[in-house]
Structure 1
Amino acid sequence: MIQLGIIGTNWITDQFVQAAHETGKYQLAAVYSRRLETAQKFGEKYGDVEYATDLDTFFNIEHLNTVYIASPNSLHFEQAKQGILAGKNVIVEKPAFSTPNEMAEIIELANQKKIFFFEAARNIHEQAFKTVADFLPLKNHILGADFSFMKYSSRYDQVLAGQEPNVFSLHFSGGALVDLGIYPVYAALAWFGIPKESVYYAQKIATGVDGSGTGILRYDHFDVTIRTGKISDSFQPAEIYLTDGTLVMNAINSIDEAEFHDRNHQQIKKLNVHQLENPMVEEAENFAKVILNPTNHKLGTDYEEWVELSRNVNQVIYDMRKSAGIVFDADEK
């Protein structure tokens, strides 16, 4: 049984803990929050849980072996580093880190300490995502793709009121690309590989981050267009253009409908895809398999592929925001 600790007590943390418990392979063991009452309110429904209001105490809980980190983005690096040095596996909510240097340091440190590091990019762990991957032809039969993920954030109301919430702050490594745009970037790199060139055209808001934007990932024979935003909503499907037709998905972050429009045979083929009620169950299950079976060669290969994909996505996101002139505080370190 994985003894799980959490940093961050928001809705996504609760969803991950519920997903982890649903697998039957985790038990929530510890909650960190700067305020004890906040930690207790979060953990009270999960039984016997320890609480900590400082990170040293939290990471020194002996039976705690895995930590899920869902704090503001700019805090991930130091917290993950402290966790690894304390001998804990770390699951870091996307975006795991602000810069390629941070990503490289954590990967190297985890390897040195024989600790597992996972970026919680849930869409690549879903069976629906793998079904699409299996359906796709060789790259020379791909003509391009359009992926959109735009969802209005209630925190933008605070920006309009003159405030600077974490998700829209350069200090906390926020913005649309790193928060929502990371899903289509993950999809593109997982399905098509590393692009030759990555650019991003951002619509910046008052805090200096991108409220929305359009990215282009250029491959040898096709482009992937990415639209993302947190100041408006998009209801566009995701499409992949093939030499013999078009694959249409209802979304890129959570695929529960996908159909191939066959141009040659003038017919539509529906792919067998669906979403679980809790979309984080599949990633929690995959992480648990690796943690509980550290010598399994197949799982070890899967883990190495996930880590390398995280590294590549981080670099592409970095290149995209640099092309748009988006500079985080973390870039100056």
Structure 2
Amino acid sequence: MKRYIFFDLDGTLTDPMLGITSSVQYALAKFGISVRYLKELIPFIGPPLAQSFQQFYGFSEEQAKEAVEYYREYFSPKGIFENEIYSGIPQLLRALYDAGFELAVTTSKPRVYAERILKHFGIDEYFTLVAGSELDGTRVKKDEVIRYALDAYGIEGKKALMIGDRMHDMEGAAACGVESVGVLYGYGSREELTAAGAAHLVESVKELREFLFSQDAEKEEEDTTMVRFGFIGTGKIAENFYQANRFINGFELTAVYSRTLEKAKEFGFRKGNLAYFDNLEEFAGSNAFDAVYLASPNCCHHDQAIAMMRAGKHVICEKPLASNYEEAKEMFAVAEEEGVILMEGMRSIYTPGFQKMTEYMETLGTIRRATIQYCQYSSRYDNFKRGIIENAFNPELSNGALMDIGVYTVACMIRLFGAPKSIKASGVRLSNGVDGEGTILMEYDNMIGEAIYSKITNAAMPSQILGEDGVMLVTEMENVKDLHIKRRTVDQTIHFEQSDNILNYETAAFIKMVKTGTGWETARDITLETMKVLDEARRQMGIVFPADQKTE
């Protein structure tokens, strides 16, 4: 399965015939050459412009360079938009993007023009890279463009697929060791593409789509079986969880528990025909749901999750899973004993952006340092300063900055690099003993990790992952959408499109675990190693929860 798909632009994604030929006609007129019919200039579509002027009209290198400048006089303001997108291309790109393919445009057209065209047709969001020539003449040959894209992704040619409509696309791909697909709906003939070494030929966009997805011979049919959820907790996070998941495949809300029926019914208003409970034992024994979303205070997670699992219910629990490692270990032991799935809702590590980020990390070389930060001034801190102690700043509930948002930084570090050899933690304690912010240094064999978190300040600096060959800046590690990678020869900005409310991704992973019974071991290990780090960090900072005394 080739996951990196390189698309030519002209004649593959869009039909630029009118714009390109009109621009060429304009340029030739500057040299006193009159071309009556635009179709005579179709051979200019695809190859580098200067080369075409020399090949078809016998221009010298200097004349060809001048002709390109005249061409741009027409093309930049007008010809660029005398263009049409091929039918079915937007739908194809969307399907590939949703399926997790990495899409790039590799064109001999100047990159600035290519980016404007993609944006004009509203398809720019699907591409993580636009590789093209530069206005100064840099990188005009197709093999140079393809090699640039391979270097940007840090992959070998065998991992990519080049799709184009002209011989230059096929020849450029072959020169870089990339398998090629020739499209016959563009401007190259079957004979031209075959002679240039096209590995595959397709007649239409529909056939191209079938080819690309047929690479995955083991692609499973969509499972429409619903997992019925009961909610424990009716606060803001529970509402966000519902809104994120209400339309995803496999999710159905069927029951709600709260300490009062009034709150349960208020939460469930207009959410369907739900069952309501104010008795936890009756809720656990109900057959109205298969799985529980647990969004109660941290100190309640252990007892409530075990009660649900003893009743045969699967559990997805808001982070942190438990107050301490011993509680978490017991919870997973019960899950295995009862044959149910228990998963911590660590939203950040399940997003598509986070998964793609890990692939780009391979281009950084040996990682030597990672600084992962999550600093977000909490509106609840304003109340704290007024003497109003809400849950987030109440250590009696096993809460504080470390447990609320520091846990994200630690879990991300462990997901990326595994468990550390040792840690050193320090933090700022507030008047009631709760931690407001902190830093955890995590020691590995060949690198250093820094987990920085705060609920009493904001941060302006991104998270960073530093390798011997490059550095990656991550704008928001808790919701990876934007990366900036700096390497010796490449300076690359990458944007990922994903849901604004990212709780749907963790739920999709949980539903898959419930249906298949697989994948839970890795999630469990990340949670347990995270809890070990949190416990040791609290020990070093002198933070003790009432729940700790229950497990001693």
- Using the size of structure 2 for normalisation, the TM-score is 0.57
User: Aligned pair 1:292/2:292, yes or no?
Assistant: no
Q: Which of the residues 536, 539, 546 maps onto 1:319?
A: 536
Give the residue type in structure 2 aligned to 1:179. D
Q: Which of 1 and 2 has higher RCO (CA within 8 Å, sep 6+)?
A: 1
Give the residue type in structure 2 aligned to 1:161. R
User: Aligned pair 1:308/2:531, yes or no?
Assistant: no
Measured in 1, the distance between the counterparts of 2:424 and 2:293 equals 31
Residues 324 and 531 in structure 2, CA contact (< 8 A), matched pair in contact too: yes
Secondary structure of the residue that 2:334 maps to in structure 1? helix
Partner of 1:283: 506
Measured in 1, the distance between the counterparts of 2:244 and 2:387 equals 36
User: Aligned pair 1:181/2:398, yes or no?
Assistant: no
Measured in 1, the distance between the counterparts of 2:362 and 2:389 equals 45
Give the residue type in structure 2 aligned to 1:278. N
More off after superposition, 48-57 vs 147-156 = 147-156
Measured in 2, the distance between the counterparts of 1:18 and 1:8 equals 14
User: Aligned pair 1:116/2:341, yes or no?
Assistant: yes
User: Aligned pair 1:190/2:407, yes or no?
Assistant: no
Residues 255 and 274 in structure 1, CA contact (< 8 A), matched pair in contact too: no
Residues 199 and 324 in structure 1, CA contact (< 8 A), matched pair in contact too: no
Deviations 1:230-268 (A, max 9, x none): 112123211111101210111110011012101x21x31
Give the residue type in structure 2 aligned to 1:313. T
Provide runs of 4+ in structure 1 moved above 4 Å. none
Secondary structure of the residue that 1:128 maps to in structure 2? helix
Residues 149 and 252 in structure 1, CA contact (< 8 A), matched pair in contact too: yes
Residues 131 and 272 in structure 1, CA contact (< 8 A), matched pair in contact too: no
Listed as ranges, the matches of 1:15-164 within 5 Å are 15-137=240-362, 141-164=366-389
Give the residue type in structure 2 aligned to 1:217. M
Deviations 1:164-212 (A, max 9, x none): 3221122100111111011111111111111111222110001211111
Measured in 2, the distance between the counterparts of 1:313 and 1:61 equals 33
Measured in 2, the distance between the counterparts of 1:305 and 1:282 equals 16
Listed as ranges, the matches of 1:256-271 within 5 Å are 256-262=481-487, 264-265=488-489, 267-271=490-494
**What are the ranges of 5 or more consecutive residues in structure 2 without an aligned counterpart?**
1-225
Give the residue type in structure 2 aligned to 1:280. L
Secondary structure of the residue that 1:195 maps to in structure 2? coil
Secondary structure of the residue that 1:228 maps to in structure 2? strand
Partner of 2:63: none
Secondary structure of the residue that 1:118 maps to in structure 2? strand
Secondary structure of the residue that 2:432 maps to in structure 1? coil
Give the residue type in structure 1 aligned to 2:401. A
Q: Which of the residues 471, 476, 487 maps onto 1:246?
A: 471
Measured in 2, the distance between the counterparts of 1:303 and 1:111 equals 10
Residues 69 and 90 in structure 1, CA contact (< 8 A), matched pair in contact too: yes
Measured in 2, the distance between the counterparts of 1:35 and 1:161 equals 29
Q: Which of the residues 376, 387, 392 maps onto 1:167?
A: 392
**What are the ranges of 5 or more consecutive residues in structure 1 without an aligned counterpart?**
295-299
Secondary structure of the residue that 1:275 maps to in structure 2? coil
The percentage of aligned residue pairs carrying the same residue is 31
Indicate how the Cα distance of structure 1 residues 303 and 272 shifts in structure 2: closer, same or farther if over 3 A, else same: farther
Shift of 1:22: 2.0
Secondary structure of the residue that 1:190 maps to in structure 2? helix
Measured in 1, the distance between the counterparts of 2:315 and 2:359 equals 29
Secondary structure of the residue that 1:316 maps to in structure 2? helix
Residues 32 and 55 in structure 1, CA contact (< 8 A), matched pair in contact too: yes
Give the residue type in structure 1 aligned to 2:332. I
Shift of 1:139: 9.8
Partner of 2:93: none
Shift of 1:272: 5.1
Number of aligned positions between the proteins = 325
Shift of 1:271: 3.6
Residues 215 and 320 in structure 1, CA contact (< 8 A), matched pair in contact too: yes
Indicate how the Cα distance of structure 1 residues 138 and 188 shifts in structure 2: closer, same or farther if over 3 A, else same: farther
User: Aligned pair 1:211/2:450, yes or no?
Assistant: no
Deviations 1:122-148 (A, max 9, x none): 111111111111222399711101111
